[in-house]
């Protein structure tokens, strides 16, 4: 069997299995969240999010909406694990950086509380 014949059979099997997977899984959303930053951000999305009184005052003062924090910062931000307390019990707290914003939040089992928001 020549190389071109082997390549042809390989490509036929690969394309067939790829089509099978597309049909089987369709438009389901897949997320690859194996890195620590991605895992924490993915866990935030499934919990209820509350803003502390201090963070609400800062948002009003800065004229920033809660949706900016929820849709942008908590999705695209980077967590600084050096300044976070990820192993704290019962609720770890994290420091997140997004553009020129610094957000401190606490992640408990049922909810996430945005404790402090700072612009730098």
Q: Return the CATH superfamily for domain 31-119.
A: RelE-like (3.30.2310.20)
Torsion over CA: 60, 92, 38, 100 (sign):
positive
Write the pLDDT tens digit of every residue in 17-53.
988 888 887 766 666 678 888 889 988 888 999 999 9
Please say if the pLDDT value at position 106 is more than 90.
yes
| Per-residue confidence (pLDDT) for residue 31, from 0 to 100 | 63
Sequence spans of domains, the chain = 1-30, 31-119
Does residue 102 carry a pLDDT above 90?
yes
Backbone φ and ψ for 12, nearest 5 degrees, come out as -65, -45
């Amino acid at each position: 069997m020549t190389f071109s014949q082997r390549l042809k059979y390989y490509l036929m099997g690969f394309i067939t299995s790829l089509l099978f997977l597309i049909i089987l899984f369709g438009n389901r959303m897949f997320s690859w969240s194996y890195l620590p930053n991605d895992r924490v951000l993915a866990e935030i999305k499934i919990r209820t999010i509350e803003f502390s009184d201090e963070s609400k005052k800062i948002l009003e003062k800065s004229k920033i909406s809660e949706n900016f924090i929820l849709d942008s910062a908590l999705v695209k931000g980077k967590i600084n694990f050096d300044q976070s307390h990820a192993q704290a019990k019962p609720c770890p707290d994290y420091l997140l950086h997004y553009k020129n914003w610094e957000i401190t939040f606490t992640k408990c089992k049922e909810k996430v509380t945005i404790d402090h928001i700072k612009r730098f």
